[in-house]
C-alpha cells in the first residue's frame, strides 16, 4: 500500500490556523487494520513567537483515515496555538491494529498526554505507509 497522492490546505483567516488534509491510497486498507494520520512538528522549524520556539518533535494523532475507493479526507484541525505558523509538520500515515487504533482514538478524544514520542509510535505502529510535509508560514 502506498500513498499515491496527498494534499493539504491551510486556513489562516482563523486563529489558530487550521489544516485540512486529503489523499489517495494505492489500495484498500486490509481487514482488521486501521489507517491513522499523525502530525510531527519538526524541531528544526520555528514558530512565529518572538522567541522562535522550535517544533517539539512529538507525534500527534490527527485522525483515523477512512477511505472511499482509496480516497480520503480529514476535516480541518487547528494548529496547536496561534503562533504555530512557521513550523513545518511532517505527516505520517501509519497502518495499525485494533488495539493501537483504539489507543490513538482515546488520546485524540481525551488529550491526556502530549502525543507520542517517535519511538512510542514506532512500538505501536511499525508500518509507516508514507510521510509528507506541510510547511506553514507566519
pTM of the model: 0.92
For residue 138, is pLDDT > 80?
no
Length of the chain as a residue count? 138
User: Which three cell numbers, joined as nine digits, stand for 25?
Assistant: 491510497
Residues 35, 45, 137, CA angle at the centre, nearest 5°?
A: 85
Residue for grid cell 501509519: 94
| Neighbour-count burial of 98, counting CB atoms closer than 10 A to its CB (0-12 exposed, 13-18 middle, 19+ buried) | exposed
Q: Report pLDDT for 110.
A: 87
Q: Which CATH number fits the domain 3-135, given the four candidates 1.10.287, 3.30.420, 2.60.40, 1.20.120?
A: 2.60.40
Q: What are the structural domain ranges in the chain? A: 3-135
Specify the pLDDT at position 22. 97
With a cut of 70, say whether residue 61 has pLDDT above it.
yes
d(Cα 93, Cα 36) in Å, to the nearest integer? 6
Amino acid at each position: 500500500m502506498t500513498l499515491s497522492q496527498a494534499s493539504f490546505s491551510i486556513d489562516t483567516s482563523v486563529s489558530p490556523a487550521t489544516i485540512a488534509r486529503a489523499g489517495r491510497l494505492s489500495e484498500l486498507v486490509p481487514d482488521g487494520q486501521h489507517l491513522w494520520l499523525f502530525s510531527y512538528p519538526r524541531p528544526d522549524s520555528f514558530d512565529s513567537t518572538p522567541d522562535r520556539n522550535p517544533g517539539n518533535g512529538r507525534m500527534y494523532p490527527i485522525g483515523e483515515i477512512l477511505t472511499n475507493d482509496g480516497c480520503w479526507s480529514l476535516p480541518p484541525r487547528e494548529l496547536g496555538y496561534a503562533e504555530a505558523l512557521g513550523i513545518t509538520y511532517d505527516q505520517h500515515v501509519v497502518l495499525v491494529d485494533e488495539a493501537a487504533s483504539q489507543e490513538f482514538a482515546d488520546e485524540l478524544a481525551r488529550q491526556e498526554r502530549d502525543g507520542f514520542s517517535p519511538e512510542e509510535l514506532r512500538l505501536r505502529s511499525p508500518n509507516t505507509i508514507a510521510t509528507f510535509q506541510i510547511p506553514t508560514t507566519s
